[in-house]
């Protein structure tokens, strides 16, 4: 028996020695092959990148009524020098910046501490700078897609006509190009009635009617109404004060992000506030009805697809353009995520982004789309793979895209049912 074990041990030693010998011999060969594969060009050429991103952290839009406000002091708005670039805000034709009634409404009120509602803070500026750094790593350092310096012919920046989104766009560009630029950065915007970068209640009659009705209805839904009454009682908010879970969440998250206190009674309610705010937004947008998402983001999705087609057909008036940046809001990202079929039932955080890459096979010339949310690759329902053939992506989005003409016609159509 001992002899048998000895023979096995000897064989094991021989086998182990053979394995080590093979590793020594094959190791350099395998390493060289792997290095060669890494150096080999991808069969897919990156043609275009489009990024929809939420602005950074800000002061709250409204404070919870009847609750002690936080001190929103001006020192929270300090601009870090590394987020600065030279920029100008223009309309779509390069003319002066249009009037901004939404921004004017913010400036009509002051928060405790002296700042205005909805202002981008130092924290938010850094968040967008960091997003720019992440994009820089992917599209300049890892893949030499963009040049190292901002150039207008390569990059297009569009923002809603609100200061926090305009400043967020500037901060992202500062991080992406490390403040290197040739020429002043134009940030393009449009008057409120014509905006397609968010659900436009001012410019679309049908959407205004539906959303107003759905918003009012959302707070009366039994589970939401019961929880809302309980939280009002816990906070001592009078019944005659108008409050809902979206407002409460907005104030809570703004305070928490900036290390400012909020009522201790809300600590145990945090998860419920998040859940009910999402329940409300899903009821308002009602993604199960295709037409609602069309009204919210149909023209924007159409624009994104049109940018891809122009790139492939070489029909763009700016043939050297490689990057479209759209500075938007949480209320833009959520219906977009719903239309894409990848909404995770979580409120998009500050500086969240949806990134669309257009790639083309170098041999077959077939076009593909990759979608990322928060930097993570997504598989779109209706697509056979995360690397989605453009034709499949277009078909998946066809239920929600709207040309400007179709959008206007639908917005002005008579409301048959709410």
Both structure tokens of 23: 């590793």
Both structure tokens of 193: 């009635």
Residue labelled with tokens 């209640």 = 201
Both structure tokens of 366: 């077939």
State whether the Cα torsion 235-241-247-250 is positive or negative.
Answer: negative
Both structure tokens of 281: 């937004």
The catalytic residues are 55, 330
113, 157 in Cβ contact below 8 A? no
Q: Tell me the C-alpha distance between 204 and 210, whole Å.
A: 10
CA-to-CA separations, 399 to 56, 94, 133, 304, in angstroms, rounded: 31, 33, 34, 15
DSSP count for the chain of H helices, then E strands: 12, 9
In 125-184, beta strands by DSSP E: 155-159
């Amino acid at each position: 028996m001992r002899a048998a074990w000895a023979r096995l041990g000897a064989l094991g030693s021989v086998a182990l020695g053979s394995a080590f010998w093979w590793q020594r011999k094959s190791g350099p060969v395998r390493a060289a092959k792997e290095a060669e594969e890494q150096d080999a060009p991808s069969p897919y050429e990156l043609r275009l990148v489009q990024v929809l991103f939420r602005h950074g952290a800000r002061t709250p839009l409204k404070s919870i009524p009847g609750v002690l406000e936080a001190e929103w002091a001006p020192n929270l708005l300090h601009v870090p020098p590394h987020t600065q670039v030279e920029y100008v805000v223009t309309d779509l034709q390069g003319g002066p910046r249009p009037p901004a009634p939404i921004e004017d409404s913010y400036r009509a009120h002051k928060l405790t501490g002296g700042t205005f509602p909805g202002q981008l803070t130092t924290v938010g500026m850094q968040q967008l700078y960091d997003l720019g750094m992440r994009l820089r790593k992917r599209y300049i350092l890892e893949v030499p897609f963009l040049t190292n310096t901002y150039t207008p012919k390569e990059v297009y920046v569009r923002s809603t006509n609100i200061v926090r989104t305009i400043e967020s766009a500037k901060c992202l560009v500062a991080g992406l190009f490390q403040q290197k630029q040739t020429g002043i950065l134009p940030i393009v915007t449009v008057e409120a009635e014509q905006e397609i970068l968010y659900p436009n209640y001012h410019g679309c009659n049908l959407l205004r009617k539906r959303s107003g009705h759905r918003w009012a209805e959302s707070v009366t839904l039994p589970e939401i109404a019961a929880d809302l009454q309980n939280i009002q009682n816990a906070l001592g908010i009078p019944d005659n004060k108008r409050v809902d879970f979206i407002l409460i969440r907005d104030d809570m998250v703004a305070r928490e992000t900036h290390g400012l206190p909020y009522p201790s009674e809300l600590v145990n309610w945090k998860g419920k506030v998040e859940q009910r705010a999402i329940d409300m937004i899903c009821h308002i947008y009602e993604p199960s009805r295709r037409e609602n998402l069309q009204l919210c983001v149909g023209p924007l999705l159409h624009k994104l697809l049109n940018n891809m087609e122009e790139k492939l057909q070489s029909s763009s008036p700016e043939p050297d353009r490689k990057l479209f940046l759209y500075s938007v809001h949480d209320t833009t990202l959520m219906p977009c995520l719903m239309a894409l079929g990848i909404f995770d039932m979580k409120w998009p955080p500050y500086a969240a982004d949806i990134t669309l890459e257009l790639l083309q096979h170098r041999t077959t010339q077939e076009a593909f789309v990759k979608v990322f949310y928060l930097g993570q690759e997504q598989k779109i329902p209706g697509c056979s793979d995360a690397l989605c053939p453009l034709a499949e992506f277009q078909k998946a989005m066809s239920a929600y895209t709207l040309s400007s003409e179709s959008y206007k016609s639908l917005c002005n159509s008579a409301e048959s049912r709410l």
